Amino acid sequence: MPVADESIFWLTIAELSARLRAKEFSCVELTRAFCDRLERHAPRYNALAVSLREDAIRKAREVDNDLKRGRHRSPLHGIPYGAKDLLAYPNHPTTWGAKPYAGQVFDAPAAVLRKLDGAGAVLTGKLSMVELAGGGGYLYPTASLQGPGLNPWDTAKWSGGSSSGSGSAVAAGLATFAIGSETSGSILTPAAFCGLTALRPTYGLVSRAGAMALSWTLDKLGPMCRSVEDCGLVLQAISGKDGDDPGSAGKSYYYAPQFTRKFSDLRVGYAPSDWDSLPSSDARAPLQTALDAFKTMGVQWKEVELPAFPYGPVLSMVLGGEAGSVFEELITSGKVDELADKNQIAGLKSYLDISARDYLRAMRVRSLMQAEIRKMFYDVDVLITPTRSTTAPAASEPLRRAPAAAAPSAPPNAGPRGLREHIPAMNLAGYPALTMPCGFAGALPLGVSLITRPFNENTLIALGLSYQSNTDWHKRHPKV
């Protein structure tokens, strides 16, 4: 029968899967409902790059045939989802959010989409993004072929970059989950601004074959979802070795949080300044409440701060050196001038002036950072920090800083360093992070992040599951 219950658009993967297997509706009916909703509401948020309705219905028919025969391929079997438009999809435009690539078409899907197809998930649409995933640094949220990503909690606010469409679509119930990408904050930031649970995997855990490259040594793909469990289920489906990605770590992830260490054995590092002085005044109380909730879990606590390095500038130099090579033809051909943001155009052009000496110096400093961060994790197992210290900014105003440097470097004598630079620091190190909604400042969501050692995602998942079993922030959604 047709899907008439609006609540299905807010269900988790496990909940939706159970209803499919109970035959409350067919996968075709479910997919049509999500396609209708995506096409109807996505323009309000500038979230949709390409609708894939026909292909999605075709896939849904295959799923229904499987279910009739009692075949259940995975927890994702029959689940509608969306993907950031930097992922190649055959016979349809893959625009990378940018006018110069508006007509670009690939013959084969990105590896992550191929894996999700094998798991039985149903791709309903490509989702908008900041042009070229923010390469060059942009000043305005309007830096996208589809326009600024708008936040479903308040459409005057930004949904965050560069996975803006992914953040908007999942928050608005237009997709059960989405695949985003992060080079320096582009999974964590829109998830925090839009009230989502999302996971930035360890560098190399998920293949980037078929994804637009921005920075070969920084780029990561990951799930943006409704719950911690959903993140684990999606990560299990998309992880694994891939010879087509030179950065592949050759490892897979298996969802098994029940086998992690006892919480009483875990040492969690935090910085008081992250919670009591850095956040905006309206965010401090809800963030402190979130921290207090974690303090009831029985873990050990230790005050820490990041080693003193210029994380933002080093990340910008590494990204710039690599992106200048990736987009050299775009820049030298003059087509770069077709981009929407003049600041980004200038930034991309400046990348060609980065010398090998400067790039290699940044990489040497990066190796020192990585060594010190490894030492930091000798004393702790997990770090906890606000994902962002403020809520989403206005979509109509300039951003205070280009997102390439996702958090400012602390100037000398600026007070406690804390963990405020966790986004550039941990992206340079390649460490995984989980962000979860943890309350509101006014009407806008806030997020809290957990960070751990490489390939230790199940520890994040276990702590996150415990948090979400005792809170309901992840179950709240905007009126659409």
CA atoms within 13 A on the CB side of 183: 32
- pTM here is 0.96
231: in domain: yes
79: in domain: yes
CB 75 within 8 A of CB 159: no
Quote the number of domains for the chain. 1
380: in domain: no
User: How far apart (Å, rounded) are the C-alpha atoms in residues 194 and 192?
Assistant: 6
Range of the domain at 94: 6-257
43: in domain: yes
Q: What is the pLDDT of residue 413?
A: 44
User: How far apart (Å, rounded) are the C-alpha atoms in residues 111 and 117?
Assistant: 10
Burial class of residue 334 in the structure, from the number of CB atoms within 10 Å of its CB (0-12 exposed, 13-18 middle, 19+ buried) = exposed
Here the CATH number for the domain that contains residue 115 is 3.90.1300.10
DSSP 46-58: T-EEEE-HHHHHH
DSSP summary character for residue 1? -
61: in domain: yes
Per-residue pLDDT of the chain (480 residues; tens, 9 = 90+): 567 688 999 999 999 999 999 999 999 999 999 999 999 999 999 999 999 999 999 999 999 999 999 999 999 999 999 999 999 999 999 999 999 999 999 999 999 999 999 999 999 999 999 999 999 999 999 999 999 999 999 999 999 999 999 999 999 999 999 999 999 999 999 999 999 999 999 999 999 999 999 999 999 999 999 999 999 999 999 999 999 999 999 999 999 999 999 999 999 999 999 999 889 999 999 999 999 999 999 999 999 999 999 999 999 999 999 999 999 999 999 999 999 999 999 999 999 999 999 999 999 999 999 999 999 999 999 999 999 999 999 999 999 654 433 333 444 445 688 999 999 999 999 999 999 999 999 999 999 999 999 999 999 999 999 999 999 999 999 999
457: in domain: no
Cis peptide preceding 74, ω within 30 of 0: no
CA distances to 133, 199, 290, 309, 430 from 165, in Å:
12, 16, 27, 33, 24
153: in domain: yes
154 beta partners = 151
User: How far apart (Å, rounded) are the C-alpha atoms in residues 180 and 194?
Assistant: 13
User: How far apart (Å, rounded) are the C-alpha atoms in residues 269 and 332?
Assistant: 46
205: in domain: yes
Q: What is the pLDDT of residue 3?
A: 72
CB 145 within 8 A of CB 131: yes
Residue 281, number of CB atoms within 10 A of its CB? 7
* Phi and psi, residue 436, nearest 5°: -135, 145
CB 135 within 8 A of CB 354: no
Q: What is the pLDDT of residue 414?
A: 57
Beta strand 177-182 with 80-84: parallel, antiparallel or unpaired?
parallel
**Cβ partners under 8 Å of residue 374, min gap 6:** 429
CB 181 within 8 A of CB 170: no
Q: What is the pLDDT of residue 411?
A: 47
